[in-house]
Structure 1
Amino acid sequence: MDKHEEKKLEEFVDRIMADAPLESPSVDFTKNLMQKIEVQSHQEAFQYKPIMSRSVLVGLFVAFSVLMGYVISQYGLGDGTGWFDKITWEPNFKPLWGWLENYTSSKVWVYAVLLFGFLFFVQVPWLKKHMDRTALLK
């Protein structure tokens, strides 16, 4: 744009602005605004919403009760032996931990695990102190 067009555009904007009436807020503008701010500030930031609805909880309770009734009816409570005695369960940890019998690790690996473990337990108090300083936990 050259200077002549800019000058015309400026004159046009000045004429429009001169014709436009000045708008002023109402007399009770501040009062109305403060009332709206107070209403918004009193609203809760977080609304409690349960993870599971009431019907789901009732359904889970009924299913658990039916399951307990079935277990009691199958195994009984008063025959003297107890229904826990009829459950046979023998823990066998040999297949799970058998591979550790011949396992050896290098010193570098052991030192790395110890170093990272130490650094983890140093980092946690340091982060807590940092968050306390920045007032995130207050």
Structure 2
Amino acid sequence: MDKNTEDSLEKLFDTAFKDINLESPSPDFTEKVMHQIKAEKRVLNIEYRPIISKSILVGLFVLLVFIIAFFSTKADLTSSGWLDMPVAMDWTNKISFPEFSIPVSNTMLYGIVAFGFMLFIQITLLKGYLDKRLA
């Protein structure tokens, strides 16, 4: 636009808005709005339901214990008839735990322990924070 058009539009707007009175809100407008916002506080009814139920977790734990106990007996799975083992066999004498011989330096060991400790602290703090926030 050229300068003359801008000037004429400016004069037109000035004359049009000259007679319009500005409305101002009441002095307690902000207080009324905030009072309505506080009155409309939403209540969240969020019920915590774990993804995996306790019965399934217990079942998985028992299954894991049985698998570890079975494989710790060092049963020969390749022989024919490994399912025909006697029920009353004394398998508790055959339990042997594997020996781990992974070379780990003290620095790495301290790092792993510190990481586990910090992870435990963080999970505990986040659970407390989320419990307060969702309650």
Q: TM-score range by the shorter chain?
A: 0.3 to 0.5
TM-score, normalised by the number of residues in structure 2: 0.39
